[in-house]
Structure 1
Amino acid sequence: MTQIRKLTQLCPIQTALLKEKVMLVDRSDNIIGSASKEEAHLMSNITKTGMLHRAFSLFLFNSDNKLLMQRRSPQKITFPNLYTNTCCSHPLFTIPLETDPVTGTKHAAIRRVKDELGITDISFEDIHFMTRIVYFGASGASDTCEEDACTWGEHELDHVLIVRKDVEFVPNENEVSETRYIGREELAGLLEDEENFPVTPWFRIIATSMLTHWWDQIDRLHQLGDDKIHEFSFPPGLKGEV
């Protein structure tokens, strides 16, 4: 489902974003360093060193309790053209407000929903921190690159955030190719249709393991969060290592 492209074929705008610095963390979510997005998403670094970085996944529901989903632009470097939750990105090491484990990801989410979807009316107080997951997913590689140096992937400690609010949005076409609100029952059916509704690995994990529980109790979000780090998938050879 994912595309395989040479580095020279990547979108210049998205390539420039590869220079941004993300936070490297241990499996307890402690910051242990930084790396460029390019370094953090190269499969060679992930598989050889277990490089793990902090990220967030924001799920936005409207007042009808429908989830705003997006389809990632074909310009995206990892997992282009796949459907996913409202906004998925990273807090940045170079922004002091974004380095705290919980408040930092909320600040990053506010920044990125504006960049990706033009949403400007989400406040810090609107965002519910729910939990954290660790997962691994492989995206694609160029067959012209030596070894696996151009294979892109994700190995993230992902903070899951939920907002319930009616918002106005204007998607950035370089980031998002499609948006749609989806109900709980509709999503269950779509997840079975991988050919026509391919989704990102992190979205599938969250949607099949946690999302229904939160969706059913959406009026109690402030009571449902936890401090756990749920481990779901590992790079080859790293299962069980900490």
Structure 2
Amino acid sequence: MSSPALERVVLLDSSGRPAGEALKSEVHTGETPLHLAFSCYAFDADGRVLFTRRALGKRTWPGVWTGSVCGHPAPGEDSQEAVVRRLDQELGLTANAITMALPEFAYRAVDASGVVENEVCPVYLARVDRDPTPDPDEVAEWQWAQWDDLVRVAATTPWLISPWAVLQIAELAPVLPDLLPEFVTICP
């Protein structure tokens, strides 16, 4: 794995096709170009979802609660492989199963400092079997939560979580009942 300062992201054209690459450390600005990312919501065997609070040193949305893990596939790296890599790097977790939930999710958001996120960001669900051991440079805190509680938070107090999580949770809510039983057993 290369140094975080040398990580590269895949730039996309307006149709979402690869159109180059750039250093991750230089791409997130007030005029961030469209680029490829991913998000993942990790669930345990009881159907609880892992929610994380971004480290205070993060460039965008520091200290904000969000999904389990997000990141950027490296040039030439499959998005699902990137999910597996970041689950391990950020949370010390290994996925027992992964499924694509929202293949065409995309968003643009501006944080309080003016930094823009502008991403085509497929959303995955993963099954994990233990608590995380997070990298403190990536994750300040974590919590297992009931999915329905997160749906309520996203709908009623969206300012408490990342803007991409608000949008993703709203899109996941109607499809999750069909996807989740594939790899978790939800307890009442």
TM-score when scaled to structure 2? 0.86
In structure 2, the CA distance between the partners of 1:161 and 1:66, relative to structure 1 (3 Å rule), is same
Cα displacement (A) at 1:35? 1.0
Paired amino acid for 1:204: V
**After the TM superposition, which parts of structure 1 deviate over 4 Å for at least 4 consecutive aligned residues?**
none
In 2: Cα distance, 1:67 partner to 1:57 partner = 13
Corresponding pairs, count = 178
Q: Where does structure 1 lack aligned partners over 5 or more consecutive residues?
A: 1-15, 99-103, 142-150, 222-242
C-alpha contact 1:184 1:215 (8 A) present in aligned 2: no
Q: Secondary structure at the match of 1:186?
A: helix
Answer yes or no: is 1:76 the counterpart of 2:58: yes
Aligned pairs (5 A) from 1:103-122: 104-119=78-93, 121-122=94-95
CA distance in 2, matches of 1:84, 1:21: 23
Q: Once the two structures are aligned, what percentage of the paired residues are identical?
A: 28
Q: What does residue 26 of structure 1 align with? A: 13
1:37 CA drift (Å): 1.4
Structure 2: segments with no counterpart, 5+ residues: 184-188
Write the deviation string for residues 36-84 of structure 1: whole angstroms up to 9, x where unpaired. Answer: 113321113x3xxxx2000000111111111111010101110111111
* Aligned equivalent of 1:207: 169
In structure 2, what is the equivalent of residue 235 of structure 1? none
Partner of 1:52: 34
How far residue 19 of structure 1 moved from its aligned partner, in angstroms, is: 3.6
Q: Which residue of 2 aligns with 1:129?
A: 100
Following superposition, the deviation at residue 88 of structure 1 comes to: 0.6
Between the aligned partners of 2:131 and 2:56, the Cα distance in structure 1 is: 23
TM-score normalised by structure 1 residue count? 0.68
- Greater CA radius of gyration, 1 or 2? 1
CA gap 1:188/1:168 in 2 versus in 1, 3 angstroms: closer
Give the superposed CA RMSD.
1.9
Given that 1:40 and 1:52 are in contact with CA atoms closer than 8 Å, whether structure 2 keeps it comes out as no
Give distance in 2, aligned partners of 1:193 and 1:129.
Answer: 27
Q: Distance in 1 between matches of 2:175 and 2:57?
A: 32
Q: What amino acid does structure 2 have at the position aligned with 1:32? A: A
Write out aligned runs for 1:42-191 (5 A).
Answer: 42-44=29-31, 46=32, 51-93=33-75, 96=76, 98=77, 104-119=78-93, 121-122=94-95, 126-130=97-101, 131-141=103-113, 151-191=114-154
